[in-house]
Amino acid sequence: MVRFATGRHKAIAKALTLLLPGAPYADIEAIRFEASQRRMADLPPSIAVWLTTLAHVRHQHTEYDALMDEGYDRDAARFFVLDDVNEVLTTWRATRLLDADESE
């Protein structure tokens, strides 16, 4: 089956390339998949990619879920993994980092 890229898919791919030029392929594909979901359709592609990237990094590359399991609330857990998220983004040569005051 041949799958043709829509304008939205192309915009998501471009946003991923601009935001995360050094991210591993497996992470890029997971982020691309989530950013393409219907629940993200009302957001501009760059915002969908950014929010999906943050969620992916938080859940796959930090202790966020363990903190939540230990009883920390969402905001506290996010505070404690902020530096870890930015470390991953820096490793991936991201063109944007998460600001402590940024609301998602």
The dihedrals phi and psi of 102, each to the nearest 5 degrees, come to -75, 135
Residues in the chain: 104
- The token duo for 40 is 């993200």
- In one-letter notation, the amino acid at residue 8 is R
Backbone angles phi, psi at 43, to 5 degrees: -95, 150
Given this model, what pLDDT does residue 23 score? 97
* pLDDT digits 0-9 by tens, 8-55: 999 999 999 999 999 999 999 999 999 999 999 999 999 999 999 999
- How far is Cα of residue 66 from the mean position of the Cα atoms in its chain? 19
Query: Which pTM value belongs to this model?
Result: 0.90
21: left (phi over 0), alpha (psi -120 to 50) or beta: alpha
